[in-house]
Structures are given as C-alpha cells and as structure tokens.
Amino acid sequence: MSQPTESPEPPGGPQPQEYGGGAGATGRDLADVPAVEVVSTTALHLMSAAAVQLGLAEDLPEHRDLDEARTLIESLAGLVVAGAPRLGHHHAAPLRDGLKSLQLAFREASTVADPPGEGPGERYTGPVLPA
C-alpha cells in the first residue's frame, strides 16, 4: 500500500483561503489594523524600496536606478504629507525625517542636480537642501 503524499505548496506560497476562511478573513483582519499602522507600514516599504534603488542597500550597493527611486520618493512624499495631520507628530516626525534623508541621498546620487523645489517629492515638501 502506498503512503499518501502531501500536495506541494502552490507557486507563490499558501493561498489566502488557507489562513482561516479566504478573502473574507483577510478583510476582517485588516479591519482590526489601525490606519496609522497601515500608513506607517506602507511608508516604510516605500522608504526601503527607495533606499535600494538609490544603492543604499548593504547587499546591493552597486544597484542604482534613479528613475525608480524618484517615483518611490514622490509617492512617499505624497503619503507622508497627506497623512501627517492625521498621524500626529509622534508618528509623522520619523517618516518626515526618513523622507528628507532619501531626498538628500537622491540629490547626492544624481549626476544632474534638480533645481531647488523640483527634486523628488519637493512639490509636496518644498525644497530640500543639505544643511
């Protein structure tokens, strides 16, 4: 008699229905997450991706794609500026600091400097220049 075999995990990992009831469970789980956490997590993902595109990742120091970095920083700036009034200073301040650091890193990495106020995200934050 042959032993039953486990079916292999589908490509891309477990499917949502394996976590307690499908897409409806995911919606219920998200309903329990505070908005400040969703915004902060999204901002951190954008920051991490921008840092990688700027060549700041320790495991990919030679990687640099300034066009991708610009898009990510623009998106981050829009999120931070729009969300800051609702997030409060305690949550918004570190996001603003991270954004500014990425904007300055972009200026440093760019071979052709954007005019003040035209760098990534500066239409939302105003000009960001080194101190």
Tokens of 111: 């071979």
Cβ–Cβ under 8 Å, residues 78 and 87: no
Measure CA 105 to chain center.
16
| Tens-digit pLDDT profile for residues 17-57 | 444 455 566 777 888 999 999 999 999 999 999 999 999 99
Q: How far apart are CA 82 and CA 88, in angstroms?
A: 12
Question: Can you give the pTM of this predicted structure?
Answer: 0.78
How much of the chain exceeds pLDDT 90, in percent?
70
Report residue 121 as tokens. 């995200």
Average pLDDT of the chain is 86
Kindly list the domain boundaries of the chain, sorted by start residue. Answer: 35-109
User: Looking at residue 2, what is its pLDDT?
Assistant: 53
